Homo-oligomer: A and B are copies of this chain.
Amino acid sequence: MKQLKIGIVGAGRIGNVHAQSITYAIPEASVVMVTDVIEENARKLAERFGIPKYSADYMDIIRDPEIDAVLVCSPTPTHADISIAAMKAGKHVFCEKPVHTSIEKILEVQKVAEETGRKLQIGFNRRFDHNHSQVQRLARDGRLGNVEIIKITSRDPEPPSPEYAASSGGLYIDMMIHDFDMAMFLAGSDVEEVYAMGTSLVDPRIGEAGDVDTAIVTLTFKNGALGVIDNSRRAAYGYDQRVEVFGSLGMAADENDGDSTVRLSTVDGVVSDKPQFFFLERYMASFTEEMRQFIHAVNTDGEVPVGIHAGLMSVVLAKAAKLSLDEHRPVKVSEIYGG
């Protein structure tokens, strides 16, 4: 069995998640170097997972001939350039989302991928979730007939700080980007038009910072289906992650995962578990699965399950949503890209 040699750029939370998956659950690969601009973070991650090399400079990974593939887990503004450098150096790339906030930059990444023929997978981990992927499978396999309505509920347990909200690019690109990708994944279609509503009900300071914390966006898909996504930055009961696909033959919908199936019946009612708290608990298995499939695609020279098109269109939709909110009108996707 080929053992893929991997370098991780960025030793933050998501870098740790991927290192953990590879170290403990994917025998077909091993992490051989990690870098972080804060070298101490790289050192800690390396030590935690027994990774032989670490550094403060991601170019140490790019230049290392032993390394086959690079996981780009650094801050968003650096995703594109690091991905480009890695591919040009002959390495396959797994890039966290969003690829970039500039369409042009994403297109540049796409061009380099095409020119170098390197594998390039974008980190939309929710596609690999055991619940959502099963809904998609039923839709894809025709069990629901012609897909007519897509509904996605996605609510975080706790709002970010107003400072973070202000610097994040806003809810549509920071949070709903996952749901835009999920919507296209479930519908099996790109989107034609977007209409966005958004308001600040959770924390007025988020509104003052120019962002929204509560949002509903509707979608018209190219295949004729309609869709709706609702987001909130704060759900008192935990991380609310549900999708529903409705078609001519039926509906597939999932429920949140709790920590157990136990129901406690008392004089006060019948109590079940809340949704698991946040994405590290809820989506850990999906992070492992996306990494397993990336490594498998590289090792077998197969197709990556989430390509640059998904990275591009999710950002396009986020921009269309923002424009819709700002101009208070439905926005054609072609106004942003491809028109």
Question: Using a CB–CB distance below 8 Å, which chain A residues touch chain B?
Answer: 24-25, 130-131, 134-135, 138, 143, 145-146, 148-149, 151, 153, 155, 195, 197, 199, 201-202, 214-216, 218, 220, 224-228, 230, 232, 234-238, 240, 246, 248-275, 328-330
Contact = CB atoms under 8 A, between A and B. Distances in A.
B218 A201 contact: no
Contacts of A215: 226
Given A265-B274, A272-B270, A218 B197 contact: yes
A148 B131 CA distance: 26
Contacts of A227: 216
Contacts of A265: 236-238, 240, 250-253, 274-275
B216 A236 contact: no
27 contacts: A131-B262, A134-B259, A134-B260, A138-B262, A145-B236, A148-B202, A148-B232, A195-B330, A199-B226, A201-B248, A216-B218, A216-B227, A218-B228, A230-B246, A236-B249, A236-B266, A237-B250, A250-B265, A250-B267, A252-B263, A253-B265, A257-B261, A267-B274, A270-B271, A271-B271, A272-B272, A328-B330
Contacts of A145: 236
A199 B193 CA distance: 14
A269 B260 contact: no
A238 B226 CA distance: 20
A254 B246 contact: no
Contacts of A199: 220, 224, 226
A220 B212 CA distance: 14
Contacts of A195: 195, 197, 218, 330
Given A146-B201, A195-B195, A246-B155, A269 B262 contact: no
A246 B232 contact: yes
Contacts of A214: 148-149, 226
Contact of A197 (B226, B259, B264, B328): B226
